Chain A
Amino acid sequence: SQKIEQNSEALNIQEGKTATLTCNYTNYSPAYLQWYRQDPGRGPVFLLLIRENEKEKRKERLKVTFDTTLKQSLFHITASQPADSATYLCALDFILTGGGNKLTFGTGTQLKVEL
């Protein structure tokens, strides 16, 4: 069966440390993979997109890796701050046969950065 798994437990880390979130999937072959941030009661906000032929992508304090052999993506936040506390969603991105894209989301990992 097809599955997307993110860290099932909430992740608590200390301010200044690097947070590493995991996204593993089975029986999928996505063209891209995306990461989103979601705050309580709000819509998700796009963070990064990585293509299947890219190994790593960076944006400011964020870094994402994509290993299509392991079927895994790692999402890193360096020098974490309390403002980074949120739920982070991994999404597999598929190109549809007739054109266009479709995202399939994981359940998310709740990150809490403590002082």
Chain B
Amino acid sequence: DGGITQSPKYLFRKEGQNVTLSCEQNLNHDAMYWYRQDPGQGLRLIYYSQIVNDFQKGDIAEGYSVSREKKESFPLTVTSAQKNPTAFYLCASRSFGGEQFFGPGTRLTVL
């Protein structure tokens, strides 16, 4: 099955901890994206990567970090500097000019 997987589905974090969200795709897409969604709101772009070993900040990158060491993988770290990290996190990938495919999401809750 081709697609995007995210893990874990639910994640609980204590204040002051860094956590890493996993995103893997087997669609052979060059571009990958991370979004954050808060209740009743649209998706806001955190980071994106058009090619391996390169990535750019999106609209709300503060308190987050990413890496893109492999084409298939684009993990997101939520650092302790992120003031309000509780949200639904979505990973996506696409080929140039094509539709965007989303993963199932990770719901992060800060305790």
Contact residues of A with B, CB < 8 Å? 4, 32, 34, 41-46, 49, 89, 91, 95-96, 98-108
Contacts and interface: CB of A to CB of B under 8 A. Distances in A.
B17 to A, nearest CB: 24
Contacts of B35: 105
B97 A101 contact: yes
A103 B97 CA distance: 11
A98 B99 contact: no
Contacts of A43: 4, 90, 92, 102-105
Interface of B: 4, 30-31, 33, 35, 40-45, 48, 50, 88, 90, 92, 94, 96-105, 107
Closest 5 CB pairs of A and B: A43-B102, A100-B50, A46-B99, A105-B42, A107-B42
Nearest to A99: B50
A51 to B, nearest CB: 9
B42 A102 contact: no
Provide the main secondary structure of the chain B interface.
strand
Contacts of B30: 100
B99 A44 contact: no
Given A49-B98, A100-B96, 13 more contacts: A34-B100, A42-B104, A43-B4, A91-B100, A98-B50, A99-B96, A100-B31, A101-B96, A102-B48, A103-B33, A104-B45, A107-B42, A108-B42
